[in-house]
Structure 1
């Protein structure tokens, strides 16, 4: 048989660049608390640890600086951004805006049933960690719930914006871990939102989501001692 030429719309597979891979690794380390807020990142030590040259590492760190995850202090170097009261307040404002917009789109588009299935699955994963309310796994399951909500809106732009705050969200959730003595309230808040979506009750779902964000913001402030 004669091989057919591929369709004209196909192009070569683009491999991720080294700086992009390094940026993803650093982003994950910031997200999971390996590099806590305020931690200084030394270029030489990082290059040795990651087994990379300083050129692509410097480019990766510049990307994270542009994203606001790293900050440069004159004559001192690069540091993981601190979770200041203003930064946390602004992050929760953005999260609330994006997630309520996603929720509105889900209801307007008639996607409530499928969204409820995804949210219930995320809550079930959290329930399986009932005895580990302060674990990193519970933080990840919590993030999965909100990720599932925004992805259900099928809006690339909402997803892209949400992705930019997921790392900061993870930082906040790690900071909040000490405020959860048990998983009951955490599970109840998420389950109530999922139930409202399944019941196709936009007003209640939106109200519960906004209250959940306010509670999260209050817990982060309590964990950080902010007023």
Structure 2
């Protein structure tokens, strides 16, 4: 028998702080290279420095913040090599997630992803399409049911958001994002393993090339 009367588990204050800082970094509110001042952040968040330091330490472990001795904590600055490396790791996570989905209810997963793709054709700005682009990939990994893949992917998605905000002009060039995502969702829905994997690889190569504004042959390492 299920016991529904249990203590309510609330996220810890450091976890909430980490989530808020992660969102601020991803949305460009805290830009790459920005130094984080403890006193100012504590005032803005309405918290004491202890939980704030713990929350920032979590982001340091994720690689979103970097500590310099005698200088403090800074938002990581994504170089083209960093972007390449991030996409290498992100591709591995999403391909693993897709394989797991294809072992289960791939039809339901494909339908869920196609709902997001359908919204891409209805929104009117590149910024909104980018938001749905990110949502598609987050949902893809969530549908795998793997908490570990989701945790790793969370950092990569934040870094992707950083890149989009920093390089929005080159990223917005593509008019084919809806088509690319639809093809991928349909491949997953059909259960086609080989096509799904190949489309994911090509999709990552295209996104990487747009973000660093170089030809695909030069962009992928």
Using the size of structure 1 for normalisation, the TM-score is: 0.85
Q: CA deviation at 1:132?
A: 0.5
Q: CA deviation at 1:170?
A: 1.8
Aligned pairs for 1:5-24 (under 5 A) are: 7=3, 11-24=6-19
- State yes or no: 1:166 paired with 2:161: no
Aligned length: 215
Aligned pairs for 1:82-161 (under 5 A) are: 82-109=77-104, 111-129=105-123, 131-133=124-126, 135=127, 137-161=128-152
2:176 match = 185
Unaligned runs of 5+ in 2: none
Contact 1:175 1:220 in 2 (8 A): no
- State yes or no: 1:212 paired with 2:203: yes
Secondary structure of the corresponding residue to residue 12 of structure 1: coil
- Could you say if the C-alpha distance between residues 62 and 160 of structure 1 is closer, same or farther in structure 2, counting changes exceeding 3 Å? closer
Contact 2:22 2:59 in 1 (8 A): yes
CA RMSD in angstroms comes to: 2.3
- Could you say if the C-alpha distance between residues 176 and 58 of structure 1 is closer, same or farther in structure 2, counting changes exceeding 3 Å? same
How far apart in 2 are the matches of 1:33 and 1:96?
23
The structure number with the bigger radius of gyration is: 1
How far apart in 1 are the matches of 2:172 and 2:51?
42
How far apart in 1 are the matches of 2:82 and 2:197?
24
Unaligned runs of 5+ in 1: 1-5
76, 84, 90: which one aligns with 1:81:
76
Q: CA deviation at 1:180?
A: 4.4
Q: CA deviation at 1:79?
A: 0.6
How far apart in 2 are the matches of 1:68 and 1:214?
23
Contact 1:139 1:174 in 2 (8 A): no
How far apart in 2 are the matches of 1:81 and 1:175?
12
1:3 match = none
